[in-house]
Chains A and B, each alone.
Chain A
Amino acid sequence: MKPAPSDSGSPPLALVFSSLLGLLALSAASSFLPPAPWKTAAGLAIAAAKTLLIALFFMRLKYRRGLIPIFAVAGLFWLGILGTLLMSDYLTRGRL
């Protein structure tokens, strides 16, 4: 629960930032490829990677222990409940 006393071992923020810009460039570049079903998935995967970088290093989640990571994940878990059960209706009743 306590913040780690030091995060000296962490990568410099500039490195994190350039990775973020690199991912953005990757995402933007992929949109110039011909349309394909995997592109949406790739776009979302890149977005997830960017979010992970921001959460771990900008929001310093990497240096937190105990409750804070649990709280951070709880919202996503409950969102999963909403998504799963909602889709269970729509995917088993045909179209709208």
Chain B
Amino acid sequence: MITATPVSAEPTPHPEAKAVTNQLGMWTFLATEILFFGGLFVVYTLFRLTYPEIFRQGGQSMDFWLGTVNTAVLLTSSLFMALADRAVRANQRALLTRCLALTALLGLVFLGIKAYEYHGKFAEHLVPGPGFRGPPGSGPRLQIFYFLYFAMTGLHALHMLGGLAAVGWLWRLNAQGRLNSGRTEPVVIVGLYWHFVDCIWVFLYPLFYLAGR
């Protein structure tokens, strides 16, 4: 059945084959993430079809401009991530440093704006639970909207934190001189993740910030 032919004592896989393996791993992980966030989107759809009025009411309390600016911030961060990917393949390490810094900076700006929004919701007693005070005329059901808002944007923000940690790791690798055109994989992998988290937000934006308009 098996012929044991001595190919080489220590088979070293081709670097390109290893790259495909790594990317396949990352895409499998992203499929997992699609189900994770996607389940929430399904739940959102269900409730929006069931109680359309709470999404009108709730959507009106969202800060349209903060949401729009945040979307632009995140899209720009994705651009710099893509540029970082290009820079490392072209072996431009100084450019890579700048791109990574801008990506992380924009990620932090996004989280800052998000925190400001959360703070506003806390101050207005719009957090679901016993302390919830909806606008006049709204019923207890409005809490479902805010529950979904906090669950979905909160999970997204957690993913952003993970992404920032990953970018920090890239920064360190780069500072140690371990990223170059011969070793681009870490940038590609982190980039896939960063862009994916960006895509999630692209959907959260119309679902929450444009719901009441």
B contact face: mostly helix, strand, loop, or mixed: helix
B32: contacting residue among A39, A68, A75, A86, CB under 8 A:
A75
On chain B, the residues within 8 Å of A13 by CB distance are 79, 82-83, 86
Tell me whether B16 is interfacial, beta carbon within 8 Å.
Answer: yes
On chain A, the residues within 8 Å of B86 by CB distance are 13
Which residue on A lies nearest to B45, using beta carbons? A83
Q: Is the CB of A59 within 8 A of B35?
A: no
Q: Is the CB of A74 within 8 A of B31?
A: yes
Q: Is the CB of A90 within 8 A of B46?
A: yes
Please count how many residues in chain A sit with their CB below 8 Å of the partner chain's CB atoms: 46
Q: What's the least CB distance linking A64 to chain B, in Å?
A: 8
Tell me whether B78 is interfacial, beta carbon within 8 Å.
Answer: yes
Q: Is the CB of B23 within 8 A of A68?
A: yes
Q: Is the CB of A40 within 8 A of B206?
A: yes
Instruction: State which of B2-10, B106-114, B121-129, B188-196 sits at the interface with chain A.
Output: B188-196
Report the separation of the CA atoms of residues A24 and B76 in the bound assembly, to the nearest whole angstrom: 12
On chain B, the residues within 8 Å of A44 by CB distance are 203, 206-207
A82: contacting residue among B35, B68, B202, B211, CB under 8 A:
B35
Given known contacts A17-B76, A47-B206, A59-B192, what 20 new A-B pairs fall within 8 Å (CB)?
A13-B82, A16-B79, A16-B82, A21-B72, A28-B64, A35-B213, A44-B207, A51-B203, A58-B78, A58-B81, A58-B195, A59-B195, A71-B27, A72-B27, A75-B31, A75-B32, A76-B38, A79-B38, A79-B39, A82-B38
